Amino acid sequence: MRKEIIVCGLVMLSLVLASELIASQKQTLQIEGSTTVGPIADAFAEAFNSKYSNLDITVKKTGSGDGAAALVDGRCDIAIMSRFMKEKEYKKAVENGIFPVAHVVAMDGVCIVVHPSNPVAQLTTQQIRDIYQGKITNWKQVGGPDLEIVAISRDTSSGTYETFHGLVMKKEEMAAGVEYVNSNPQAHARVKTTVGAIGYVGIGFLDANVKALKVDGVMPSRQTIATGQYPVARPLFMFTNGYPKLGSMIYKFCTFYLSETGQEIIEAKGFIPVTNY
Amino acid sequence: MHLNTRQITDKAFTVLTGASVVLLTVVLLIVLGPITWRGAKAVIFKDTIEFRKMQFALYHRGNYEDLQSEIAEVHQFRDAAYLIIDEFKHGIDTDELIDESKQIYRQFGKELKYKGTSGAEYQQIRSLAREIRDKLQATFQSNDKQIIQENIDYILQYRTNGEFVDTAAAGFFTLGEDFLKSVENIDLDKRQEYAGALQKVEDIILHLLGPKPDDPVPALSMDRYGATRWDLAQKLLDQLLWSEKWVQKEADQPMIKVRTLRAEQFEGTKLEPLFGYVQSNLDRMMKPMPTFYWRYFIDDSTPGHYFGGVGPEILGTLLLTLLAMIFVIPLGIISAAYLVECASDNMAVRIIRMGINTLAGVPSIVFGLFGLAFFVLFLIPLFGGASKPCILAASLTLAVLTLPVMIRASEEAIRSVPQTYKEASLGLGASRFRTFMKVTLPAALPGILTGIILSLSRVAGETAPILFTGAVALGPLPKSLFDPTRTLSYGSYDIAVGDRLAMMVPHKQYGMVVTLVLLILCLNAVAIILRAKVFRRLRGN
């Protein structure tokens, strides 16, 4: 019986090796990076799979930093990132002979959300900063009910945190009492279930269960984010090594956002297309 | 000890152990119960016609003729709903009407040119058409019924004009008449308000019934179908019937949710009957049917896991787990054999032992980073492979992760084989190697199998070690060991952190988790049955 098992194993191994030789005729496209931009890459991949049958797309979502590192190491074709490359990453890339080119594929607004029962309708960035720094601890202080504020933030490694930290907190530190959660759905769920909560999520996560606040008098919407009136917005990037060869698959993928279908997809995924199509 | 105290302590011990078993069961039920309940909904649920449409389009399942006749059946009921909305919309959405009038004007101009009408006459007819168009547009934008009536009457007097009969311009008059009819029951001052409320109703209907048959097909499959599940359809119906609003009842208090009938917003208008109609005909519009979607376990999914199953994920998890086991079992047994049989108690061996114990306590993400640095970036390129995450690197990483567990379990098993067995074998003249292979190893096999079960469950559920070494969120089926793969553990992580889709398809997320639990149970069951067999053979039955 033992012999049979060994023979089976050998046959399987040889099959695997043989398939390796036959395979890889197909074109591949490796995409790696941000969990925020990931859904766009997923959806583009869906559209591309039905368009080009001879193409295999893989998407890895581990974070913007990993995307940059993978591009620098030559491990991926396109790095998807929710922030621009840092100076260090850029330098390392150039040293490795890789010249990152940024393609802005969409805009994302970071919306400040509260529980829908909260009568407060707007805050200034100063007030939000004070809340996250622990200077304002009760909704009464900003014109709301007598209710303690539960401040919820994303984890410090996320691109959403970085945007919020840079644009609202002005790089100042948050108070110790702030609660950290790991993802947009989690932040949404936490605000939805907590009456006194305040948090921030991408605009795609807005629904009837949470209420978006006006920031500095501007309501987050497609219009205000695209025109830059809403203060907490950011572009989403795809980075390639040099500008991709015209007509290549990478080129088609990175410019797909310019097509009508591409923009429709971006809107369907809850982001804001860069142009008015 | 006093006899009484002894009895009491004995009883207390029995009660305590019994209670802890009960507690464990309860905790298990609390943890696994809801997950299983929600996960089961991915497989057993009531589907709708939209689900069957999706299955046919994506996987070519079902009978084409049956499906078409079903679609025709539901469309009888859906068309009535669309008709109600369209009629109401005619009086509300003036932008569309204005566009339409522009279109007619352009068409009419082309027709005139085509007919070869002479210059002066052409100018004259065309300017008349423009006048009608402008009047019509002013009418659409007016809020005064008196003016609307007058304007339409004015326009309609041109209806019998020879220039307009049987031309595109006839469209002006039907447009005007229709508009007059549709504004009859509408309070025009509320038009803006209605437009906003109508938009919501249309959104819900779109989610419920999917795009209309003659609308352009959306780019993503998630937008191509209405509610594919009956529970979702009912949730949407509830949203359609009731509108929620948060109102401030008392100052300085949180607001309170108030539900009002949406029909009240449209009281007295042509849209009002829609709500009752949809409510009483929903099952005829959706055709719900209980399903057992067993193909969930073999189907591929659309990107983002909105539709489809977990087939590639199961395959990937199995591949990784079994491959890791192939690496770790021989390695673990050989190391354990060395530690028990060959190693003497010196400094080097003590350091090795300490190393193994430390390895067992290292967090799994450290193994992941080690795997990235050693296997992906160093070892595989060294042998000429592409430096990218792949199944081989991931399973090797998992093997390293679970090696300490395997070594410790095997070591204990081999150590517990009675010394007399070995002595008897050696006494008969067998070599040490032969003794180990023929006597010690078979006797230790049940213990080793326990070690395998433990490491198997650990390996199948790990996410962190494969995060950088071989798992992807989206990709084709692996064709060789040098391709990355999707796995159940990474897939559930991906759904949880990624997309707002996670909020729309919770059953998919829980389905994946339950599948993982089931898969580990199955693998363990195989190992346990094997162990029982070995055990029986050892006892000589």
DSSP per position, A208-242: TTSEEPEETTB---HHHHHTT-SSSEEEEEEEEES
Model confidence at A2, pLDDT cuts 50, 70, 90, reads low
Nearest CA-CA distance, residue B498 and chain A, Å: 5
Contact A264 B218 (CB under 8 A): yes
Mean of all residue pLDDT scores within chain A: 84
Question: Is the pLDDT confidence value at B22 over 90?
Answer: yes
Distance CA(B354)–CA(B261), nearest Å, equals 70
Instruction: Measure the N-to-C terminal CA separation of chain B; round to a whole number of Å.
Output: 45
Average pLDDT over residues A127-144: 88
- B133: tokens are 């168009």
pTM of the model: 0.79
Question: Is the pLDDT confidence value at B246 over 60?
Answer: yes
Angle at A37 between CA A192 and CA A182, to 5 degrees: 40
Which amino acid is present at B40?
A
The domain segmentation of chain A, as residue ranges, is: 28-107+235-268, 108-233
Mutate to test the interface with B, among A60, A66, A183, A209 (most CBs of B within 10 A): A60
Nearest CA-CA distance, residue A92 and chain B, Å: 17
Distance CA(B453)–CA(B321), nearest Å, equals 11
Contact residues on chain B for A270, CB-CB shorter than 8 A = 500
Is residue B525 classed as helix, strand or coil in its secondary structure? helix
Which amino acid is present at B499?
D
Q: At residue B417, what are phi and psi to the nearest 5 degrees?
A: -70, 125
B484 touches A at CB < 8 Å: yes
Is residue B197 classed as helix, strand or coil in its secondary structure? helix
Model confidence at A224, pLDDT cuts 50, 70, 90, reads confident
Question: DSSP H helical segments within B416-440, as ranges?
Answer: 419-427, 432-435
Model confidence at A99, pLDDT cuts 50, 70, 90, reads very high
Q: What is the DSSP letter of A84?
A: P
Q: Which A-chain residues 119-158 have CB contacts (< 8 A) with chain B?
A: 119, 140, 144-147
Q: What is the DSSP letter of A243?
A: S
Which amino acid is present at A222?
R
Residues β-bridged to residue A57: A29
Instruction: Give me the pLDDT at residue A173, please.
Output: 85
Mutate to test the interface with A, among B497, B501, B508, B526 (most CBs of A within 10 A): B497
Q: What Å distances lie between residue A150 and A114, A115, A190, A197, CA to CA?
A: 10, 11, 10, 4
Q: Return all residues near B398 (Cβ < 8 A) that are at least 6 apart.
A: B320, B321, B324, B328, B459, B462, B465, B466
Q: Where are the beta strands (DSSP E) in B190-310?
A: 242-247, 256-261, 289-292
Q: How many residues does chain B have?
A: 541
Instruction: Give me the pLDDT at residue B161, please.
Output: 77
Model confidence at B13, pLDDT cuts 50, 70, 90, reads very high
Q: Return all residues near A112 (Cβ < 8 A) that are at least 6 apart.
A: A123, A128, A198, A199, A200, A212, A213, A215, A232
Question: DSSP H helical segments within B62-93, as ranges?
Answer: 64-92
Region label for B64, one of left (φ > 0), alpha (ψ between -120 and 50) or beta (otherwise): alpha
A190 touches B at CB < 8 Å: no
Which amino acid is present at B444?
A
Tell me: the pLDDT tens digits for B247-272? 877 777 778 888 888 888 887 777 88
> How many pairs of residues across A and B have Cβ atoms under 8 Å apart?
131
Instruction: Give me the pLDDT at residue B2, please.
Output: 81
Q: What ipTM was predicted for this assembly?
A: 0.74
Instruction: Give me the pLDDT at residue B157, please.
Output: 82
Neighbours of A68 (CB within 10 A): 27
Secondary structure of B409-422 in the HEC alphabet?
HHHHHHHCCCHHHH
Residue A2, Cβ density class (10 Å: 0-12 exposed, 13-18 middle, ≥19 buried): exposed
Is the distance from CB of B463 to CB of B490 less than 8 angstroms?
yes
Is the distance from CB of B221 to CB of B54 less than 8 angstroms?
yes
Is the distance from CB of A239 to CB of A71 less than 8 angstroms?
yes
Question: Is the pLDDT confidence value at A20 over 70?
Answer: no
Contact residues on chain B for A43, CB-CB shorter than 8 A = 219-220, 303-304
**Do the two domains A28-107+235-268 and A108-233 of this chain adopt the same fold?**
yes
Question: Is the pLDDT confidence value at B120 over 50?
Answer: yes
Selection from B175, B164, B160, B165 nearest residue B101 by Cα: B175
Is residue A60 classed as helix, strand or coil in its secondary structure? strand
Instruction: Give me the pLDDT at residue A238, please.
Output: 93
Residue B260, Cβ density class (10 Å: 0-12 exposed, 13-18 middle, ≥19 buried): exposed
Selection from A85, A72, A81, A70 nearest residue A106 by Cα: A81
Question: Is the pLDDT confidence value at A8 over 70?
Answer: no
Least confident of A64-68, B65-69, B185-189: B185-189
Q: What is the DSSP letter of A7?
A: H
Least confident of B8-17, B65-74, B234-243, B491-500: B491-500
Question: Is the pLDDT confidence value at A21 over 50?
Answer: no
Instruction: Give me the pLDDT at residue A49, please.
Output: 84
* Nearest beta carbon to residue A60 from set B472, B482, B502: B472
Q: Which B-chain residues 438-467 have CB contacts (< 8 A) with chain A?
A: 467
Contact residues on chain B for A146, CB-CB shorter than 8 A = 252
Average pLDDT over residues B324-336: 92
Is the distance from CB of B472 to CB of A58 less than 8 angstroms?
yes
Residue range A28-107+235-268 forms a domain whose CATH class is alpha beta
Own/partner pairs, B263-271, CB within 8 angstroms, 24+ separation:
B265/B197, B266/B88, B266/B194, B266/B197, B268/B185, B268/B187, B269/B88, B269/B185, B269/B186, B269/B194, B270/B84, B270/B87, B270/B88, B270/B182, B270/B185, B270/B186, B271/B84, B271/B85, B271/B88, B271/B198, B271/B201
Contact A43 B244 (CB under 8 A): no
Instruction: Give me the pLDDT at residue A104, please.
Output: 92
Is residue A107 classed as helix, strand or coil in its secondary structure? strand
H or E segment at B354? helix B347-360
Instruction: Give me the pLDDT at residue B184, please.
Output: 72
Instruction: Give me the pLDDT at residue B223, please.
Output: 83
Among all chains, which residue has been given the structure tokens 């909560």?
Answer: A197
DSSP per position, B12-33: HHHHHHHHHHHHHHHHHHHHHH
Q: Return all residues near A11 (Cβ < 8 A) that are at least 6 apart.
A: none
Question: Is the pLDDT confidence value at B162 over 70?
Answer: yes
Distance CA(B103)–CA(B86), nearest Å, equals 19
Instruction: Give me the pLDDT at residue B23, please.
Output: 95
Contact B480 A9 (CB under 8 A): no
- CATH T-level topology, domain A108-233: D-Maltodextrin-Binding Protein; domain 2 (3.40.190)
Instruction: Give me the pLDDT at residue B166, please.
Output: 76
Average pLDDT over residues B401-425: 91
Distance CA(B521)–CA(B453), nearest Å, equals 10
Question: Is the pLDDT confidence value at B145 over 80?
Answer: no
* Nearest beta carbon to residue B254 from set A23, A117, A208: A117
Distance CA(B402)–CA(B398), nearest Å, equals 6
Percent of chain B with pLDDT over 90: 16
Residue B384, Cβ density class (10 Å: 0-12 exposed, 13-18 middle, ≥19 buried): exposed
Q: What Å distances lie between residue B479 and A26, B141, B253, CA to CA?
A: 11, 62, 61
C-alpha torsion angle, residues B326, B329, B332, B335 (rounded to 10)? -90
Is residue B448 classed as helix, strand or coil in its secondary structure? helix
Average pLDDT over residues B67-95: 83
Contact A205 B253 (CB under 8 A): no
Tell me: the pLDDT tens digits for B354-404? 888 898 888 888 999 999 889 888 888 888 777 788 899 999 999 999 999
Neighbours of B398 (CB within 10 A): 30
Instruction: Give me the pLDDT at residue B401, please.
Output: 92
Q: What is the DSSP letter of B223?
A: G
